[in-house]
Amino acid sequence: MTVIEEFTATSDTSPIHAGHSVDPTIRQRWRRSRVLIGAAVVVVIGAIVVALGSGNSGAVLDPRSYTPSGSHALAVLLGQRDVRVITMTSVGPDEQFETSGTTLVVVSPQYLSSDELSTIASTPVDLVLVGAGLDEIQALGLPLATQPDDGKTLRSPSCSLRAATVAGSAQLTGGGYTVPSGGQGCYPDGDGFALVTFERSGHRVTLLSDGTPLMNSSLAKDGNAALALGLLDIHPDVVWLVPPAIAPASSGPHRS
């Protein structure tokens, strides 16, 4: 394993103490949570824009990256919610994660080796895959298939998943996925869904068709931030895997 950085929020913005659960029967609290998230995102995005002027760079969907396609703003928001974000660039064959209290986020899985995908397939932690294609799905042994993109960018959840119903409309492209038996699909995309989640061997697997809701440049738009936080603000630790093919050359920590 290559551990790059354990992220700790250092923003001057006020923390959001929204907690890790929302009463699903109180819709007003859902709306209030989304408003608070939106306000915090605006402040964090402002800090990111300032940082961009200092020449910081990074990879797509990298939680250390201040660039428009990076995910540093989301890492700040997670840190404010007491969620620790740990960035990795590789997974060893004997990699062990905590069986509880951890979410493994894998972005651009097409850049991972077959051995790394095999290790990820056997992990007992909750898994969030971003932008997985058919080859990666088959390598991971997941019981679903890809569907063509219908060309839309803004989608309504059309499901009962709490993270999606709190977020409402979100920006998702890239095609859809079929839904395994017992699973749930959100944000319809043609004959599939841009978000699919299901239980597998005692842990949850979630697929996002692309990473737009996680990016600095789009986090403040529509329900993107609420969706991203709803999917990742579940456990105390988020291990974020950025494959070396897209990871920045410098692994020095970035600070807001």
Confidence of residue 2 (pLDDT cuts 50, 70, 90): low
146 pLDDT more than 80: yes
* Both tokens assigned to 50: 């300032």
Provide Rg for the chain, Cα atoms: 17
Whole-number pLDDT of residue 249: 46
Whole-number pLDDT of residue 3: 57
Contact in structure between 130 and 59 (CB atoms under 8 Å): no
State pTM to two decimals: 0.80
**DSSP single-letter state for residue 232:** H
| DSSP strand pairing (170-171 vs 154-155) | antiparallel
With 0-12 / 13-18 / 19 or more C-beta atoms within 10 angstroms meaning exposed / middle / buried, residue 143 is: middle
Whole-number pLDDT of residue 98: 78
Q: What is the pLDDT of residues 93-137, one digit of tens each?
A: 778 777 788 999 999 999 999 999 999 999 899 999 999 999 999
